[in-house]
Amino acid sequence: MFREALFVDRLNRFVVLCEEGGRRFPAHLPNPGRLWEILLPGRVLLLEDQGENMPRVWGALLGEEVVCLHTTSAASVARKLLEEDCLEDFAGFRVVGTEIPLGNSRLDFLLKRGRERMFLEVKSCTLFFDGLAMFPDAVTVRGRKHVGLLADLGGAMLFVVHVPSPFAFLPDFHTDPEFASALHAARKKVLIRAVAVRWDMRGNFQYSHILDLPWEVYEKEAEDRGSYLLSGYLPGVYRIAVGSLGELDFPRGFYVYVGSAMRGLSGRIRRHLRKRKRNHWHIDTLLPFFEDVRVFPIRSSERLECAIARELEKVARPVPHFGASDCSCGSHLFYLPQPPLRSAAFVEVLLHFRMGRIARILQQR
Ligand SMILES: [Zn+2]
């Protein structure tokens, strides 16, 4: 059994601050991923004691579901599933090598069935929402290299999804469109499978099911168009002239702006991030004052900008009329006292439009 503690904060890539019975202490996190949707204040973490050393995070509880957060566990899960012949497409294949060096990359497994050889790369997937699982949760150049290698060698990529609730898997084209399009392009040369497992509180898992890979939905939704959330931190109180709105007072804190570009989303985002440009949108007047600017693209075939604004209005304070001169929304700019990614309500809105929407499209097919 694990020790349960509440997540408080991520101190760095590999250390989190936890709380248990009013006492706060650090724990080692063996996962360098972003894990935004899991590492939210108040989330229950499952810890393993490590004697003299700080405890180690084994996983987390997401409602009823136990999620394993060890990055390396995906490879051991895959190995066991192969040995127990749980995966139909790999029936009869045995592991004959691990960590196979190829150029300046490595692939997890070399499999053999009679004279047949197959390289297999395993990825750990802990990003899921409303029945859809996605990978990666941060840009992965290494992952894209692996796809290229497997396409050349004719190998397989297995995504291990660490909870049983998702029914479909897609590469995360919002976060890493290059990985997503590489995987899509390689789908006829590389055997791509996503498998869900069910973990228990003892740290054991069982095979659950193979997930659907709905490429037809990917092809429609993953183009370079859609909406984006742009967040920034205003380090002081500022009075700023915002076009037709005149001078406005902006309190110190975090702001989230929602916009859309149904043609050339990445070009629009690059333009916002460029230092020298002519002011065109309300947000352009605010951007020079922001620190820690981040952009969260939400690629979609539909214009979702105003629907996103309406949801954000429920979780953050709108700045009246900002960015909403061409629509009937109250605002397209919202104020939050804390960083948006530390707000469970904000993360939920982001995941709702990035993933929940896709899951609903799939359910209505
Ligand atoms: Zn609007």
Q: How far is the CA of 239 from the centre of ligand 1 (A)?
A: 24
Q: How far is the CA of 306 from the centre of ligand 1 (A)?
A: 4
What dotted CATH number matches 73-214?
3.40.1350.60
pTM for the model stands at 0.95
**Per-residue tens of pLDDT for the chain, all 365 residues:** 899 999 999 999 999 999 999 999 999 999 988 999 999 999 999 999 999 999 999 999 998 899 999 988 999 999 999 999 999 999 999 999 999 999 889 999 999 999 999 999 999 999 999 999 999 999 999 999 999 999 999 899 999 999 999 999 999 999 999 999 999 999 999 999 999 999 999 999 999 999 999 999 999 999 999 999 999 999 999 999 998 899 999 999 999 999 999 999 999 999 999 887 777 888 999 999 999 999 999 999 999 999 999 999 999 999 999 999 889 999 999 999 999 999 999 999 999 999 999 999 999 98
Q: How far is the CA of 233 from the centre of ligand 1 (A)?
A: 22
Q: How far is the CA of 282 from the centre of ligand 1 (A)?
A: 13
Q: Cα–Cα–Cα angle for 62, 339, 233, nearest 5°?
A: 160
Q: How far is the CA of 115 from the centre of ligand 1 (A)?
A: 60
Q: How far is the CA of 230 from the centre of ligand 1 (A)?
A: 15
Q: How far is the CA of 331 from the centre of ligand 1 (A)?
A: 7
Q: How far is the CA of 303 from the centre of ligand 1 (A)?
A: 10
Q: How far is the CA of 299 from the centre of ligand 1 (A)?
A: 17
Q: Where in the chain is the domain with CATH 2.40.50.580?
A: 3-68
Q: How far is the CA of 225 from the centre of ligand 1 (A)?
A: 17
Q: Where in the chain is the domain with CATH 3.40.1350.60?
A: 73-214
What dotted CATH number matches 3-68?
2.40.50.580
Q: How far is the CA of 322 from the centre of ligand 1 (A)?
A: 10
